[in-house]
Amino acid sequence: MLRFLPAAPPLGRACRAILPAAFVALSATAARGQQGPVPLTLDEVVRTTLASSADVLAAEAGVRRQEGVVRQAQGAFDSRLQTVLSAQHVTDPTQAVGVDATVATSRGMEYGIGVDRRLRSGIVVGPQLAVSRAEVPGSDVLPRNQATASLDVLVPLGRGRGGGLVTAQERAARGSYSASSADLRHRRAQSVLRSTEAYWGYLAAVERLRVLHEAEFRAERLVEETRTLVEADERPAADLVQVTASLSSKRASRLAGEQGLTAARRELGLAMGIPVEALAALPAPATPFPTPGDPAAGPIPTAQTVAAEALRARADLASLHYRREASRTLLRAARSELRPQVDLSVSLGYTGVEEGGSLDRMLAPLSGRNGFHAEVKLSSGLTLGNRAAEGLALQSAADDQAAAVTERELTRSIALEADAATETLRRSAEELRETAESVRLSTTSVENERRKFRLGGSTLFDVLYAEDGLTSATLTRIDGELRHALALARLRFAAGTLVPE
């Protein structure tokens, strides 16, 4: 059974800003020894990586940007409210007859309000309301108040049917948003894999340095024992030269181990994204290497199980799927844009008329005398050439083809990666069992050779050989533990279960 690495719950932006600084303060406190050394667990490494890794933060910014693209595409379906208010005063000299005739004067006022709403089906709905008033000052005719209410509906039958390119662009934007979210999950998994590998490398460097210190300590003790025997004339002086040379070799190895630990600490700090000032105070690792048979690791799965799990859980594969769906959506819409323009327009409404002098009579026609009207119109048009739609269709088809090739190649790569990861994990588990036995036997051999050396039944060369054998076997075991831990992390990454969604 494949299990997750321990991971933190989703972190808010405030927590992301605080966590790296808190890690620095915690490391500094541990370095000063105010509260004793605080060990570094793999859980803490994963938490810090997810909070402060530059790759993760950049991917999060990409998700937020794509969210803006989706909102921008949704703007095409926002309702548009339009209002108009006009007043007019007209003097018409052409209506005057004779020299002393009075020039005709008229006044008018109009107010209109309407809403246009594009539906995702491509239909455009527009309710409208307009009221107007007309009067002739000095005339016996009462002011005329008129109100018109209507509902206009535009139904595309050809180009734009089903929403057309506008709706497709919104769907494609949503698909790209899902793809960017999957990219974020994959980037999180990559960052956690890198920091996990760096953590195991850091632990291995600490363990190697411990073994090298023990080898140096044993060499120092052997030098002291040999010096005592030489001074007692029980061993030749040449033996002291030989063990002293061995001690110098052990010290050189220990210095190289310290350099390796510095490099491993730096790599872990880079992977975690912690500030430079926290690097020197990085605590010692506390999470031990996973061992074969550990219930937390579970049994080794088959390559087919890993590949099947990867097809379900791999975020990079999901990202390609979303992007391919987006390109297909645009491709279908671009092809629909090649259709001729055929629109059905329907307008239903009524007009009311009332006479009256006061302004409050302007709304009276809505409930007074009115007449119903209806209009049905069919219009068509054809864009000659339509190279814009053809170009978009070519681009979308190419994007779909490229995504299909990439998706097919990634699926094949995942299957190969699953096969290699399971085989590597299986062999590393077998290697660990053999190296553990080698360390046990080498420890017994050193004890036996030391006892025989003190009794005169063994040479100094035999003791040094046994000591070097124990050191080599122990370092080999550490390397095996590192390879096993790396193989387990890479197997979980290959299966897409390294970090929970």
Residue-number span of the structural domain to which 64 is assigned: 13-73+168-329+393-495
User: Are 402 and 466 in the same domain?
Assistant: yes
How many domains, in total, are found in the chain?
2
Q: Tell how strand 80-92 and strand 104-118 pair up.
A: antiparallel
* Residue 232 forms part of a structural domain: yes
* Residue 262 forms part of a structural domain: yes
DSSP-derived secondary structure for 117-163: EE-TTS-EEEEEEEEEEEE-TT-SSPPEEEEEEEEEEEEESSTTGGG
State in Å, rounded, how far the first CA of the chain is from the last one: 17
User: Are 40 and 102 in the same domain?
Assistant: no
| 124-135 sheet: strands from edge to edge | 80-92, 104-118, 124-135, 144-156, 341-355, 370-381
Instruction: Count CB atoms within 10 A of the CB of residue 56.
Output: 20
User: Are 351 and 461 in the same domain?
Assistant: no
User: Are 55 and 155 in the same domain?
Assistant: no
User: Are 134 and 276 in the same domain?
Assistant: no
Identify the pLDDT of residue 97: 52
Residues 6+ apart with CB under 8 A from 285: 39, 40, 41, 199, 202, 203, 206
* Residue 388 forms part of a structural domain: no
User: Are 408 and 304 in the same domain?
Assistant: yes
Residue 446: enclosing H or E segment and its boundaries?
Answer: helix 387-454
pLDDT digits (tens, 9 = 90+) for 296-325: 556 788 888 888 888 888 899 999 999 989
* Residue 214 forms part of a structural domain: yes
Q: How many helices (H) and strands (E) does the chain have?
A: 9, 6
Identify the pLDDT of residue 297: 57
- Residue 138 and residue 105 in contact, taking contact as beta carbons nearer than 8 Å: yes
User: Are 223 and 364 in the same domain?
Assistant: no
Q: Is the pTM of this model over 0.85?
A: no
User: Are 60 and 189 in the same domain?
Assistant: yes
Task: Give how far Cα 88 sits from Cα of 93, 111, 143, 360, Å.
Answer: 16, 12, 14, 19
* Residue 414 forms part of a structural domain: yes
For residue 256, the domain's CATH number is 1.20.1600.10
* Residue 3 forms part of a structural domain: no
User: Are 181 and 311 in the same domain?
Assistant: yes
As given in the structure block, the two tokens for residue 37 are 């050394």
Q: Which residue has the tokens 């309702």?
A: 79
* Residue 243 forms part of a structural domain: yes
User: Are 50 and 130 in the same domain?
Assistant: no
* Residue 178 forms part of a structural domain: yes
- Residue 386 and residue 338 in contact, taking contact as beta carbons nearer than 8 Å: yes
pLDDT digits (tens, 9 = 90+) for 268-299: 999 998 888 888 888 899 999 988 766 555 67
The CA distance from 468 to 217, in Å, is 13
User: Are 106 and 187 in the same domain?
Assistant: no
Which residue ranges of the chain lie beneath pLDDT 70? 1-37, 92-104, 293-298, 357-369, 501
User: Are 181 and 281 in the same domain?
Assistant: yes
